[in-house]
Structure 1
Amino acid sequence: MNHDGRVRIDGPHPIDVTAIPGGVELDVAAIVHATLAYAVDRLTDDRDLYDELQAVAETAPTPGHAPERLPLERLVAELMRGASTEVKVYGSSLRQLVAALHQAAFPKPVPGQIRRAS
């Protein structure tokens, strides 16, 4: 555990786990980075997709007018078609993740709210 309470789960895409009141925060920056890199690669390698991106940019909203959502939705759907949506966690990293989530699921008592058996 880091000094800020985060637990780093190593793996192909590291995940940081932090307990928060009532739950857990998962920092998945490595996953977002990989997804964005994939999208940029697709856009630069596929001229048709790049043209779709330009069409989306050209339909940007003007003051007082709602943006056209369909071109953006089509582009996102096409990019999602080949994107990985799975995060693989193996062996000791899986045990680390389970332990971090288990620890976060049972919050520590707040000082002053601890009941003492009489």
Structure 2
Amino acid sequence: MGKYASVRGWVELQHEQRAAAMPARFAALIIVAALSGLRWGELAALRRCDVDLDAATVRVPRKLAALKDRLGFGPPKSAAGVRVVALPAAAVEALREHLAEHVEEGTAMDRRIGGEGRRRR
């Protein structure tokens, strides 16, 4: 067991508690955001085809950005932003449950993220 294993477990527990306090459709968003390092726009733009639960990864080919009068999809800011991100087991489990319970074919996160779940400035 690594030196920081108990710290990682404690951090994951905190995020699970925060996720449990949210509406169920946002729980995976909270956990995956906290444990993956993905940005809000990258999370909101995820599609089912970007999520590989067997490999425990998500592919980041695009982002959702707040434009002047609408939300719009586009590529990440730089070529380095297009990447594959490894997910810890807790994030994989949260996504597995989320996809089974809340998501239509084609999307990974609830479409309402761009509306009521959208970060306000």
User: What TM-score do the two structures reach when normalised by structure 2?
Assistant: 0.28
User: What TM-score do the two structures reach when normalised by structure 1?
Assistant: 0.29
If asked which structure has higher relative contact order (CA below 8 Å, sep 6+), I would say 1
